[in-house]
Amino acid sequence: MSYLFAPPAVVSVPVMGLTEGFPVHRIYCVGRNYEEHAKEMGFTGREPPFFFLKPADAVVVAVPGQITSVPYPTLTNNLHHEIELVVAIGTGGSNILAADAHKHIYGYAVGLDMTRRDLQNDMKKQGRPWCIGKAFDHSAPMGPITPAAQVPNINQAEIALKVNGKDRQRSNVSRLIWNVAETIEQLSAAWTLQPGDLIFTGTPEGVAAVVRDDLLAGSVQGLEPIEVRLA
């Protein structure tokens, strides 16, 4: 098969300790999955998880030990950070039970669900899709993937984000409303998961605006931390 123009490059995330990259298929994201964040967004209680997507090429790989430049996006005056645990799916499937979810997980990474909050809020008010607020270019900076077997305590890991050296978000993965296994159960009932899918599992409280030149340092205990500067 020949093509009219060069097909898009495969988006790939490095894997710790391997030369092979993790080829990205889709990026699923979970909304409002920590109670205190749901409250700060004006919601309370445990509601069924809901999902949105980002394009695979929204990924910006943050190289360990380096500060990775990420462009400040267009059209916004209120760009928010959302630090998240990212799950990398290695084995696909549909209608996966929470008890079997671990068999489908390749590994984990630290990610930022960057959000044009002003545009997202405008769309919410009008009952329109959030795409412009969430699924823009460079909206998914993330670190390399650590294979699951190397982080057996990931479900009790501290998750944190500092901006210019000061704490903005600090919580624990154990506080997820829908834990990783339950999220995979719910997500795989709606879509057939494929190897290469990434799941941004939701952000804890403390989301706020960042501006050009801010340095964002994100971490999840046991995973490679990331450092991103907005350019």
> What residues make contact with Mn ion under the rule CB under 5 A?
82, 113, 203
Report the alpha-carbon distance of residue 31 to residue 102 in Å, rounded: 21
Report the alpha-carbon distance of residue 12 to residue 23 in Å, rounded: 4
State in angstroms the smallest separation of the CB of 136 from Mn ion.
14
State in angstroms the smallest separation of the CB of 88 from Mn ion.
17
Sequence letter at residue 181:
A
Q: What is the DSSP letter of 10?
A: P
Which residue, 82 or 185, is less far from Mn ion as judged by CB?
82
State in angstroms the smallest separation of the CB of 112 from Mn ion.
9
State in angstroms the smallest separation of the CB of 80 from Mn ion.
9
Which residue, 15 or 82, is less far from Mn ion as judged by CB?
82
Q: What is the DSSP letter of 93?
A: B
Contact yes or no for 216/95 (Cβ under 8 A)? no
Which residue, 15 or 58, is less far from Mn ion as judged by CB?
58
CA dihedral 114, 117, 118, 124 (to 10 degrees): 130
Which residue, 15 or 31, is less far from Mn ion as judged by CB?
31
- Other CB atoms within 10 A of residue 121 CB: 15
State in angstroms the smallest separation of the CB of 163 from Mn ion.
16
State in angstroms the smallest separation of the CB of 75 from Mn ion.
19
Report the alpha-carbon distance of residue 75 to residue 95 in Å, rounded: 38
* Nearest alpha carbon to residue 193 among 95, 78, 114: 95
| CB-closest chain residue to Mn ion | 113
Which residue, 15 or 70, is less far from Mn ion as judged by CB?
70
Which residue, 68 or 120, is less far from Mn ion as judged by CB?
120
Contact yes or no for 106/148 (Cβ under 8 A)? yes
Report the alpha-carbon distance of residue 156 to residue 176 in Å, rounded: 10
